[in-house]
Chain A
């Protein structure tokens, strides 16, 4: 009885721990280990067991740093776009009746129900040189030649925002739901106009949802691969694409591993800093 009581937590958590170790912890460790090796790309022989060569190669190269910069810029823009467009929707969702809410919810999560590739091709159809927008514009003679809409950073930002925006809406919506409506009434009763009540009460109280949504969207954007490849084409390269290229085209696995580690560490650092800034700094009261 006693023994089984002591064992129970381990037995219950066991399967999940096992999966986590086998499919997450071990691969990550292998990734770290691989990233400090050096192979001869002609013979595929390991020439060095421990070297920072791969990291130097990335961090002292303008091309690679440029790709990193593009990736971070796209991710920040996607996060901002999802926040700015997602907040009003979450806010509306909070006030909607149960039926309207169910319908809207389905609409909002619909991008998640379609394959990533198909969704991105949808944007190709809309943004392409002979796509929906350009056909309309040239058909109406508003522009003489098709605009370059696809294979731009903007196209990538638009595509990624569309894909990840449900996460932002749901995170903000769930934090709005925890706000007692009486608190907003109290602000109005004390002389706050509806706009003031929003800035002073609703918005600060929904900061936990904004933080959660931003972190999810940022993390997903920074590591996205399919959408940037399809909508950015050869002109917009992101870090995930580099890692793929090194891995499967150049076959320099250690360099690919180093690229992945750099992206992982940087993303973790950005998320940690953001979280800390908000939780400890600006809105300490909200996270009491």
Chain B
């Protein structure tokens, strides 16, 4: 049975549907990421689960029990806030002990569990400090310890790493996934950072304007995007406007504005004559000196090379179209220079064809 279940959950603000008929089932111990741009409803969904907001429709079940009408303090969820929301007037140990005191545990049990929780996040030596005496990373860990120490049914993380600088974020990401695996707790976290979602979650829920676009493993949502939105939101997409000329034998052929043909091997609900977008991820576009026989291969001019150390980014022009291509810098010295003519190529399975919807 699902540990947490959302059934047809809705939240409206006036005419705005912040969360629109969202249904989800999360298994015991699963880590689920809610991923999407700001305003997509992911934080609202999290607040609905925590109980800070009441849904306008639908059910929220934790371990089979509908909690949609329960106030936050009766839901037994543990939340790590984006701002950490530590109690500034209490030292670290009292911050962590807060939830246990509310549960009226015995003194000795509180002391033991606080010590365990602080050891888990490797902060046992800073128990007497006040929050403002801690670095961002340390505050984050206190917030995590405070949420875990109450043994919540569900752990909720709101943009857990967004307030840390890039280097620290990488470290904390590794540490966080280690802690979550060790504790084995059912976790939902909200993020707008796809790296975070893909690296931390068992499954990713991509949301847009209050609705779920796709639910799947990190590999599924990245490699098999279900909608044009997902394809464009994840990775770095190149988008080419085109018209379908034929759909035959699992192959879709499209014509770009200047008459060049792009081939896709992916399934898409389109017919000949439809106006579509062809989406190709930047790291799947290859540059070649001579055509290598791929179905999508176009003579092009290299407009600009951006040297990023680990990566090389190319801006390529073919006909009226511009593409970004990204390659790893392997250090073999063979960096093409701007102004050269070459071929841009990608396999047919890398072109995703999406019908241009009424709002897209």
Contact = CB atoms under 8 A, between A and B. Distances in A.
Contacts of A15: none
B102 A192 contact: yes
Interface string A202-234: 001100000000000000000000000000000
A193 B102 CA distance: 9
Interface in B50-86: 50-52, 71-73, 76-79, 81-83, 85-86
Contacts of A196: 73, 102
A39 to B, nearest CB: 54
Contacts of B78: 189-190
Given A183-B88, A196-B102, A188 B83 contact: no
Contacts of A191: 73, 76, 99, 102-103, 150
A288 B86 CA distance: 14
A192 B98 CA distance: 9
B142 to A, nearest CB: 11
A283 interface: yes
Interface in A172-200: 180, 182-183, 185-194, 196-197, 200
B88 A190 contact: no
Given A185-B72, A288-B132, A200 B98 contact: yes
A190 B98 contact: yes
A201 interface: yes
B301 to A, nearest CB: 52
Contacts of A188: 51-52, 71-73
Contact of B73 (A182, A192, A283, A285): A192
Contact of B89 (A190, A197, A283): A283
B87 interface: yes
A204 B83 CA distance: 20
Contact of B81 (A185, A194, A286): A185
Nearest to A181: B85
Contacts of A190: 73, 78, 98-99, 102, 146-147, 150
A286 B88 contact: yes
Contacts of A186: 79, 81, 85-87, 146
B77 A285 contact: no
B233 interface: no
**Residue of B50, B88, B146 most packed against chain A (CB within 10 A):** B88
A185 B85 contact: yes
B186 to A, nearest CB: 16
A205 B131 CA distance: 14
Contacts of A286: 88-89
Contact of A285 (B76, B91, B98): B91
A286 B90 CA distance: 8
24 contacts: A180-B83, A180-B85, A182-B81, A182-B82, A183-B86, A183-B87, A185-B79, A186-B146, A187-B98, A188-B73, A189-B79, A190-B78, A190-B146, A191-B73, A191-B103, A196-B73, A200-B98, A204-B89, A205-B88, A285-B90, A285-B91, A285-B130, A288-B88, A288-B89
Interface of B: 50-52, 71-73, 76-79, 81-83, 85-91, 98-99, 102-103, 130, 132-133, 146-147, 150
